[in-house]
Chains A and B, each alone.
Chain A
Amino acid sequence: MSRKRHRLVSEILGLKRRRERGPVDADPLRGESGSARAAVTELVRLFPRGLFEDELPPIALRSQVYSLVPDRTVADRQLELQEQGEIRVIQLGFDLDAHGIIFTEDYRTRVLKACDSRPCAGAVQKFLASVLPACGGLSFQQDQMTQTFGFRDSEITHLVNAGVLTVRDAGSWWLAVPGAGRFIKYFVKGRQAVLGMVRKARYRELLLSELLGRRAPATVRLGLAYHVHDLIGAQLVDCISTTSGTLLRLPET
């Protein structure tokens, strides 16, 4: 009798272990103690390029980087350094706090392709060649553009029309990605949908493995893993480690 029970138990455990390993391998959501750059490379792979017919450069979000690099201050400082070279941080319009991170090379190729045959091409090329490498910041000021880089008002208007600059204040502009409107729409809808999945669960909490295993609702176009990274990093869900894996729970407030 006891031998039978032992075998049953080990069989069950074996099965469980095999099932466990599946999602664990595909689950990159462990706190990697890597650099911010490695995290961005990783996240950029999650971005669905085909969805936008390759018009948009792959965008990762700052909150996603926080979910992979556990120390936020270190992540912020590394991104600040990287900004000088390979990475640009862009202000995404929907939330002043959400910053998108794009590789400069990708950004440059896509922007040039987007305004290829349009009248604003000249201004855009001048912008990409002179201003982008020189200023690593999120925004640009009027006197900086006109005096230091010699842009005329008409050229600045071309840049705004091309979608490269977005108005921030009188005489001040944010750097922007042309055509990012669609991405932002899918992102906001997808974020609400994934949060809704957690909210509708019993006790408002879900095991991470279970959430990733579910079928994504139709509004989630960017992929569940993409949104989950963002939710964890933006602290919109609390991440609790349990014996059965990571649990996502909505905060009390």
Chain B
Amino acid sequence: MRVLGLELNKDRDIERIHSSGVNTLDIEPVERRYMLSGGSDGVIVLYDLENSSRQPYYTCKALCSIGRNHADVHKYSVETVQWYPHDTGMFTSSSFDKTLKVWDTNTLQTADVFNFEETVYSHHMSPVATKHCLVAVGTRGPKVQLCDLKSGSCSHILQGHRQEILAVSWSPRNDYILATASGDSRVKLWDVRRASGCLITLDQHNGEKSQAAESANTAHNGKVNGLRFTDDGLHLLTVGTDNRMRLWNSSSGENTLVNYGKVCNNSKKGLKFTVSCGCSSEFVFVPYGSTIAVYTIFSGEQITLLKGHYKSVDCCVFQSDFQTKTKSRLNQAFQDAWSSSDEEG
């Protein structure tokens, strides 16, 4: 099981471009070769992860970057970057400067900009949707905004949360299902075609499902700041500032009661964690202080802590082909590649 043998890769390194913390990473889903990173300085960098030199030791080169001297660079910290799910011609980035920018990769110019009233914490575009090009945006306000890339405007708003939306994620199984996590301790599942409100508000106690109960249901005992569907879309993982991670059945909204123990989390904004894909038993990788904690998703067992960064880890992404997982650090723009020992192949 190669994931069990993950360790810091001494041979592979990633070029340091960021001068401050890296907040977000995304590897494009088509070839899994190019990676985007967004930093606290507003800089976005594009890397090529493939090793084209014959040497075992190489540094992943940064192909291009949107630096501080670029005309359209974000003014403040970039919180989320995401490749366009269908090809690498486009990517989106959202930032604390209250904008969501759509970039053309070849020319590195903004194709479109969406402005919001509040700082943007997170955005996500559906990885499977073919019938719509909606980007869900979570801001400091309690309304989830859906922006349409085709028309260039915010098509609609989902109401129901009471505080800031810290994380949003589309289901990889169903084109229209969206999950949102908020600072009011609630996680809601929405069908964006419905006008009447959310489908389910997740309840950690699995109590009675009734109209009145919806307002009292909480998913965590603190802010919910991380959200991720498993690859098959059947389950949803959430992390909260109550130091817990929970696994939910995404169709019924039931808490599966898998207990991961204390998952330290005192992030005031989103916590970006990732799951493995393609392994026989799936793992979740969560930033835990300056390490990454690896848990088996369905049994809750903590497998290991991956140590290697010097300061706190902000986010990580998983690439299944080489079993690498890059992660990044606050205050030291360092990205490490982790791989299992028999990586070359």
Per-residue contact bits, chain B 210-232, to A (CB 8 Å; 1 contact, 0 not): 11110110000100000000000
Taking a contact as CB atoms under 8 Å apart, the answer to whether A73 and B300 are in contact is: yes
Nearest CB of A to B261, in Å: 6
Minimum CB distance partner of A72 in chain B: B259
Nearest CB of A to B108, in Å: 41
Nearest CB of B to A216, in Å: 26
Taking a contact as CB atoms under 8 Å apart, the answer to whether B212 and A171 are in contact is: yes
* Interface segment, one of A139-147, A186-194, A219-227, A242-250: A139-147
* A160 interface residue per 8 A CB criterion: no
Taking a contact as CB atoms under 8 Å apart, the answer to whether B221 and A97 are in contact is: yes
* B242 interface residue per 8 A CB criterion: yes
Give chain B's interface residue range (CB within 8 Å of chain A): 20 to 34
Residues in B with CB closer than 8 Å to A141 are: 207-208, 210, 212-213, 216
Minimum CB distance partner of B289 in chain A: A253
Taking a contact as CB atoms under 8 Å apart, the answer to whether A76 and B259 are in contact is: yes
Per-residue contact bits, chain A 48-83, to B (CB 8 Å; 1 contact, 0 not): 000000000000000000100001110111001000
* A13 interface residue per 8 A CB criterion: no
Per-residue contact bits, chain B 189-222, to A (CB 8 Å; 1 contact, 0 not): 0000000000000000111101111011000010
Residues in B with CB closer than 8 Å to A142 are: 212
Taking a contact as CB atoms under 8 Å apart, the answer to whether A139 and B258 are in contact is: no
* A209 interface residue per 8 A CB criterion: no
* B90 interface residue per 8 A CB criterion: no
Tell me the dominant secondary structure on chain A's binding face. Answer: mixed
* B133 interface residue per 8 A CB criterion: no
Residues in B with CB closer than 8 Å to A235 are: 261-262
Residues in A with CB closer than 8 Å to B242 are: 96-97
CB < 8 Å neighbour of B208 from A73, A75, A77, A137 = A137
CB < 8 Å neighbour of B216 from A75, A96, A135, A168 = A168
* A25 interface residue per 8 A CB criterion: no
Q: Using known A-B contacts A139-B205, A143-B210, A253-B289, determine if residue A73 contacts B221 with beta carbons closer than 8 Å.
A: no
Q: Using known A-B contacts A96-B221, A96-B242, A141-B210, determine if residue A169 contacts B215 with beta carbons closer than 8 Å.
A: yes
Taking a contact as CB atoms under 8 Å apart, the answer to whether B216 and A144 are in contact is: no
Residues in B with CB closer than 8 Å to A253 are: 264, 289
Taking a contact as CB atoms under 8 Å apart, the answer to whether B212 and A143 are in contact is: yes
Nearest CB of B to A98, in Å: 10
Nearest CB of B to A173, in Å: 10
With most chain A CB atoms within 10 A of its CB, the pick from B212, B289, B299 is B212
The CA of A135 and the CA of B221, in the complex, are separated in Å by: 22
Residues in B with CB closer than 8 Å to A171 are: 212, 216
Residues in B with CB closer than 8 Å to A137 are: 205-208
* B257 interface residue per 8 A CB criterion: yes
Minimum CB distance partner of B298 in chain A: A73
Residues in B with CB closer than 8 Å to A139 are: 205, 207, 216
Taking a contact as CB atoms under 8 Å apart, the answer to whether B261 and A172 are in contact is: no
Taking a contact as CB atoms under 8 Å apart, the answer to whether A77 and B212 are in contact is: no
Residues in A with CB closer than 8 Å to B244 are: 97
* A112 interface residue per 8 A CB criterion: no
Per-residue contact bits, chain A 109-144, to B (CB 8 Å; 1 contact, 0 not): 000000000000000000000000001011101111
The CA of A142 and the CA of B213, in the complex, are separated in Å by: 9
The CA of A137 and the CA of B207, in the complex, are separated in Å by: 6
The CA of A138 and the CA of B257, in the complex, are separated in Å by: 15
Among A153-183, those with CB < 8 Å from B are 168-172
The CA of A208 and the CA of B262, in the complex, are separated in Å by: 21
Taking a contact as CB atoms under 8 Å apart, the answer to whether A169 and B221 are in contact is: no
Q: Using known A-B contacts A96-B221, A172-B213, determine if residue A76 contacts B207 with beta carbons closer than 8 Å.
A: no
Taking a contact as CB atoms under 8 Å apart, the answer to whether A72 and B208 are in contact is: no
Taking a contact as CB atoms under 8 Å apart, the answer to whether A73 and B299 are in contact is: yes
Nearest CB of A to B241, in Å: 12
7 closest A-B pairs by beta carbon, nearest first, are: A72-B259, A96-B221, A169-B216, A73-B300, A235-B262, A172-B216, A76-B257
A-B contact pairs, 10 of them (CB 8 A): A72-B260, A73-B299, A73-B300, A76-B258, A135-B208, A141-B208, A141-B212, A144-B208, A168-B216, A172-B216
Additional A-B contact list (8), CB under 8 Å, known A76-B258, A96-B242, A171-B216: A71-B299, A72-B261, A73-B300, A96-B221, A137-B205, A141-B207, A141-B212, A235-B261
